[in-house]
Amino acid sequence: MTPCFGYWNVRGIGQPIRSLLEFTREQYEDKLYTHSFASALSVPRRPERTTDFVMASTENMEWLQDKYCLGLDFPNLPYYVDGDFKMSGSSVIARYIARKHNLVGQTETEILQVDMLQHTTYDIYWSQFLPIVIQNVMDRKKMKQEMDGFVNGPLPGHLENFSKYLGDKKFFVGDNVTYVDFFLYELFLNFSYVASDLMNKYTNIQNYQERIEALPAIAKYMKTERYTKYFEKPMTARLFQ
């Protein structure tokens, strides 16, 4: 049976995995759940129920109906079902697919580098960037103020580190793409909507973004109707442009 990748019909944390599936030319069903942006993001995460991220609304209903019926041990989005292998957790899914295609790094040193980049990317995204959006979705003024704080605070330091690490390499771990490149691409894409002037200073990162987009399978994917309909821009574009 064709493996199924399930996520909201937005880029979010699902897009690096879609890119990886496209890059590796895996056959997959791209199961899109309609996302009620306002209702989902206006609900703050309750610490005692960390997975209860999504409130019932007619738009989110399909996911809520599927959530506990897919045989997932930790029901969440994104998920990936490949025969008997059923999993959630975006980095878990990415590593599962990447391992099949030898995209986790070739040597112990490269594997360590990929792990470190993935961890750093997630730390920035989940603990610094995303909370600003999620916690302030009902107050755009506060969202913009807090994002300014991020852009003028920790972001330049992060970009310095990434830019220095990338140097003149083709991809983040050398000449070959690894799965973490798709997560880094997504992070930089988000940053380009909140800090375009700052991003423009990092020409090696700009060129890197273009190299990812020029990978033949990715270039082809970006021309598909599915991509242009749902995934051309991240939510950040809607919120900050």
Ligand X SMILES: N[C@@H](CCC(=O)N[C@@H](CS)C(=O)NCC(=O)O)C(=O)O
At residue 99, what is the residue type?
R
77 binds ligand X (CB under 6 A): yes
Backbone dihedral region of 179: left (phi > 0), alpha (psi from -120 to 50 degrees) or beta? alpha
Q: For the CB of residue 61, give the shortest distance to ligand X in the complex, in Å.
A: 12
190 binds ligand X (CB under 6 A): no
In sign, the C-alpha dihedral spanning 143, 149, 154, 155 is positive
Q: Are 13 and 73 in contact (CB under 8 A)?
A: no
Residue matched to tokens 């442009």:
241
Residues 131-160 touching ligand X, rule: CB under 6 A, are none
Q: Which is nearer to ligand X, 90 or 192 (CB)?
A: 90
Pairing mode, if any, of strands 29-33 and 4-8? parallel
Each residue 28-67 as x (binds ligand X by CB under 6 A) or -, in order, gives -----------------------x-xx------------x
Question: Would you state the structure tokens that stand for residue 173, as one six-digit string?
Answer: 């771990």
90 binds ligand X (CB under 6 A): yes
Could you give the C-alpha distances from 150 to 134, 180, 202, in angstroms and in order? 14, 23, 17
Among 5, 6, 11, 13, binds ligand X (CB under 6 A): 13
76 binds ligand X (CB under 6 A): yes
Q: For the CB of residue 149, give the shortest distance to ligand X in the complex, in Å.
A: 23
Q: For the CB of residue 213, give the shortest distance to ligand X in the complex, in Å.
A: 23
Q: Which is nearer to ligand X, 99 or 220 (CB)?
A: 99
CA distance linking residue 146 with residue 198, whole number of Å:
17
Pairing mode, if any, of strands 4-8 and 79-82? antiparallel
6 binds ligand X (CB under 6 A): no
Among 89, 131, 156, 174, binds ligand X (CB under 6 A): 89
236 binds ligand X (CB under 6 A): no
81 binds ligand X (CB under 6 A): no
Nearest to 77, CA basis, from 160, 143, 8, 145: 8
Contacts with ligand X by CB under 6 A lie at 12-13, 51, 53-54, 67, 76-78, 89-90
